[in-house]
Structure formats: structure tokens, C-alpha cells
Amino acid sequence: MNMKQYKSLSFSLLFILLLVSIVMSTSLGGVTIPFQETILVLLGAIPFVETITDSKYETILLQIRFPRVLVAGLVGAALAVSGVVMQSLFRNPMADPGIIGVSAGGAFGGVLAIFFGVTAIGTYMIPVLGFLCAFLTLMFVYLVSTQNGKTSILTLLLTGVAISSFLSACSSLLISYANLAQVQQILNWLMGDLNGRDWEHVQLLFLPVIICCIVFYFYRQELDILLLGEEEAQNLGMNVQRTRNILLIVASLLTGVSVSLTGAIGFVGLVVPHMLRLLVGPSHKVLIPASILGGAIFLILADLAARLVVKPSEIQIGIITAFFGAPFFIYLILRHKRKELS
């Protein structure tokens, strides 16, 4: 089997897996709906496709579960692709939107919105504030770690760690002043929560995610070349500083929008890109689309697990991703250490 066939096969597999996970995640939950019926209802929702439309499950499927699955898919794709881009920018397999502090910024925005009750204006205030804080965090981290137009990667990562701790301390402080109902809501937020995500969320996510992914795909060659090192990239005629700025801002926007709508879901940007690099290789031409599919699959399945493990209740999706992601992060550190020692 040559390289091209292998890659087509990988993509076909990912695509099939995505469809299967969408159907599974839409069917299973508090009420179990037969797969066949789910497929017919979902197909019936596509314009001009005629199937049965009088299923008694139609409301659950189309108004509750399916939009939630879509949100999970979009956010998964967004976080995974942001992870890919940040890892290439920092030339470090451990870089991730969570690590440079952008996720913490987004989450803190959400806590602020709940605490000060601005959600009374409209629930959309949570994403707006979340996004704003994510962006401000990025700008702050960036300004602190950039000197003479150059960013030291070590300083950037350390600043990210510091700002993350600072923002979670602020969140904790707000929680200790909050009333019981707010505490519950905030905790759900901080752990990453997909409960009650509906078509409005899908609409808010759809365009930013698609546009940002397209921008990244445009920069696939630059991302490859950045992995050779910045001097090499400049030798090859790339405007490194400008490329890096654009990619950093777009990656943070993508993270900010996602985190502001679902809370901080950790480790997706770490686990998914790493596994897909093993499957399709490091070239961004294939890694970016593969991560979009893989991130979507990962979060859709994580969400399904979050709904099934303590059925009929459910746990936050952030718990599931942390259970997979944290050991994985430690595994990466250990491997890195072994490499350094040998």
C-alpha cells in the first residue's frame, strides 16, 4: 500500500468513525433510541430528503441531542486544531491552548458573567465575556513575553502558567463569595459542560470554527516549515513574525469562542493531535483535516461517556477528557525526559 492509499484509507476511517459516533451519541442517553430510527430522523432533517418524519423521538433527537452532538463536534475540532497549530508554533508537543492560558481566560470570563449576573441580559453574554477575556489574556501573555518583536517561547509558556494560576485563583475567590445556585453553575462551567447546548450555540460556533480552520489550512506550508526552526523558516523566505502573530491570534480566537460556549474542556488539543500524528504523519496538509475529524470524534464520544457513566444523571465532559488527558500529558513528559537523558 503506498502513502497516498494509506492516507485515503485513514481519512475514510476517520470519516466513518465520525458518522458512527454522531449516530451513537444521538441515540444513546437517558432514553435509548434505536439507531435505525435515529438515522432516519437525522436524514429526514436534511432538506429535500424524504424519510419518516413522525417519529415520537423527533423532539429529543433534533432539538436536544443532535445540536449538543454538533456543539461537541465543533468544539472538539476547534480545540484539536488549535492544539496542532500551537504545538507547531512552539515546536513543543506539550503546547496546548490550555497551557498558554487562553482557556483559563475564557473560563474566567464565563465565571465573571455568572457571578455578576450579566446573564440576565441574555445567555449570550457568557460567550461574549468568555471570548473577550480569552482574547485579553492572549494579548497580555503576548505583550509580556514579546520583546523587540520577538517572542521567547519559554517566557510565553511560563507566562501562560502564571496567568492560568492567577485566573483560577480569581475564579476561586469569586466562587467563595457566590451564592449556592451560582456555585453550582460556576463549577459546571469550570469543569466543561455540554448540558443544554442547543441550536443557538451551534450557530454561534459554526462560522468562527469553519473560518479559522480554513485560515489554518491556508498556512499549512508555513506550519510545516516552522517546525524546522525560525531561522530556517526565515531563510526559506517566510515572514516569521507576521505568520506567527496571525496564527497565534486565530488559534486564540478559536479557543476563546469554544471555551466561552462550553467551559474549559482540557487536553483535547494535546491528545488528539499526538495520536493523529502517529496515524497520518506531521505534514499539516493532512494533519489539519485529520485533527478536525479526530477532535470532533473524540469530544462527541467523551460527551457520550459523560452522559452514560452515571446514567440517568450525567457528569461534566471535562472530567472525562481530564481522565484521558492528564495521564497522557504525564506520559509525554516522561518520554521527553527519557529522550533528554539518552
Partner 1 sequence: MTGIVIEGLTFKRKERFIFNQLSVTIPKGQFIGLLGPNGTGKSTLLKMMVGLLKAQGHISINGKAIAQLKTKEMAKLISYMPQVTQLETNFTVEQVVQMGRFPHKTRFSSWSQEDTRKVEEAFELTGISHLKERFVPSLSGGERQLVYLAKVIAQDTEYILLDEPTSDLDVYHQVKVTNIIHALVKKGKTVLAAIHDINFSTRICEQSLLLKDGIVIDFGDSDQVLTKENMANTFSVNAHIYVEEQTKAKQMIPLEVKV
- Give 277 or 307: the residue with its C-beta nearer to partner 1: 277
Q: Which is nearer to partner 1, 63 or 221 (CB)?
A: 221
Distance in Å, CB of 94 to partner 1, minimum: 13
Neighbour count for residue 36 (Cβ, 10 Å): 10
Question: Closest separation between CB of residue 151 and partner 1, Å?
Answer: 16
Cα separation, 222 vs 3, in Å, equals: 22
Burial degree of 271 (CB within 10 A; 0-12, 13-18, 19+): buried
Rounded to whole angstroms, how far apart are CA atoms 237 and 251? 23
With CB under 8 A as the contact rule, the residue among 162, 235, 309, 334 that binds partner 1 is 235
Stretch that binds partner 1, among 8-16, 176-184, 224-232, 305-313 (CB under 8 A): 224-232
Q: How far is the CB of 86 from partner 1 (least distance, A)?
A: 14
The rounded distance, in Å, linking the Cα atoms of 196 and 183 is: 18
Angle between helical axes of 102-115 and 240-262 (0-180°, round to 10)? 40
Judged by CB under 8 A, does residue 238 bind partner 1? yes
Q: How far is the CB of 340 from partner 1 (least distance, A)?
A: 12
Site membership for partner 1, residue 275 (CB under 8 A): no
**Which CB sits closer to partner 1, 139 or 236?**
236
Number of helical H runs and strand E runs in the chain: 15, 2
Q: Which of these segments, 166-174, 191-199, 263-271, 276-284, binds partner 1 (CB under 8 A)?
A: 276-284
The number of angstroms, rounded, from the C-alpha of 246 to the middle of its chain's C-alpha atoms is 19
Alpha carbons 130 and 164: distance in angstroms, whole number: 14
**Residue 92 C-beta: closest distance to partner 1, Å:** 10
* Binding flags for partner 1, 67-96, as an x/- string (CB under 8 A): ------------------------x-----
User: What residues numbered 133-172 form the site for partner 1, per CB under 8 A?
Assistant: none
CB of 342 to partner 1, least distance (A): 13
**What is the DSSP secondary-structure string of 287-303?**
HHHHHHHHHHHHHHHHH
Determine if 237 is a binding residue for partner 1 (CB under 8 A): yes
- C-alpha span between 109 and 258 (Å, rounded): 12
d(CA 254, CA 131): 9
Beta strands 150-151 and 146-147: pairing type? antiparallel
How near is the Cβ of 239 to partner 1 at its closest, in Å? 5
Is 58 a residue that touches partner 1 (CB under 8 A)? Answer: no
Q: What is the rounded distance in angstroms from the CA atom of residue 248 to the CA atom of residue 108?
A: 20
Say whether residue 218 binds partner 1 (CB under 8 A).
yes
Of 294, 290, 285, 295, which Cα lies nearest the Cα of 222? 285
Q: Which of 16, 162, 211, 228 binds partner 1 (CB under 8 A)?
A: 228
Using an 8 Å Cβ cutoff, are 224 and 284 in contact? yes
Asked if 267 and 99 count as a contact pair (C-beta separation under 8 A), the reply is: no
**Nearest CB to partner 1, comparing residues 44 and 281:** 281
Q: In sequence order, what are the residues at sequence separation of 6 or more whose Cβ sits closer than 8 angstroms to the Cβ of residue 282?
A: 224, 227
| Options 20, 170, 224, 246; binder of partner 1; rule CB under 8 A | 224
Q: Count how many Cα atoms sit within 13 Å of the Cα of residue 21 in the half-sphere of its side chain.
A: 25
Residue 87 or 164 with smaller CB distance to partner 1: 87
Site for partner 1 contains 281 (CB under 8 A): yes
Stretch of 11-19, 114-122, 195-203, 232-240 lying at the interface with partner 1 (CB under 8 A): 232-240
* 56 or 339: CB nearest partner 1: 339
Which residues are near partner 1 by CB under 8 A?
91, 218, 221, 224-225, 227-229, 231-232, 234-239, 277, 281-283
